[in-house]
Amino acid sequence: MSTATETTAVTNLIARYAELVDAGDFAGVGELFADGEFAGGGGSVRGSAGVEKMLRGTVIRYEDGTPRTHHVTTNIAVEFDDTGDVADSRAYFTVFQALPDFPLQAVVTGRYRDRFERRDGRWRFARREVTITLTGDVTRHLRYSLS
């Protein structure tokens, strides 16, 4: 079961994640995962506090409070289960970054595999799995190396 309204609600959550990360609002990102799990190459974390702590420990923020990035999410596909209360999505992402001494460039690309659940009429992240596929210079974006 899938309607345009449900699909839009799920894709809006995917977009909201990118907006909050790019704004440096790691508490806001954490809220998206209040009941969810965030998994990647470094393991997984659960809940708002876990996601916020992970982002604060890995993503570099600058004087303006942002990581000076733009997350672009494309090729989004959403599928709903028979109940209509669970959705799975897959998407590609590209992270662009620019700083005064660092020209605009793609620093990392990868895939998201997400699961969403509708509870009390609201869609929420249940799980996000991040797979990195290509990397550029992440030295100004992350506090650790991807290689």
- Sequence-distant (6+) residues with CB within 8 A of 80 are 1, 2, 6, 86, 87
User: By C-alpha distance, which of 18, 11, 36, 19 is closest to 128?
Assistant: 36
Q: What pLDDT, in 10s, does the model give residues 55-86?
A: 999 999 999 999 999 999 999 999 999 999 99
CATH number of residue 84's parent domain: 3.10.450.50
Contact between 132 and 143 under an 8 Å Cβ cutoff? The reply is no
Structural domains counted in the chain: 1
Q: Is residue 57 part of a domain?
A: yes
How many residues comprise the chain? 147
The pTM (predicted TM-score) of the whole model is: 0.95
The residue range of the domain holding 51 is: 4-135
Q: What pLDDT, in 10s, does the model give residues 93-132?
A: 999 999 999 999 999 999 999 999 999 999 999 999 999 9
pLDDT of residue 106: 99
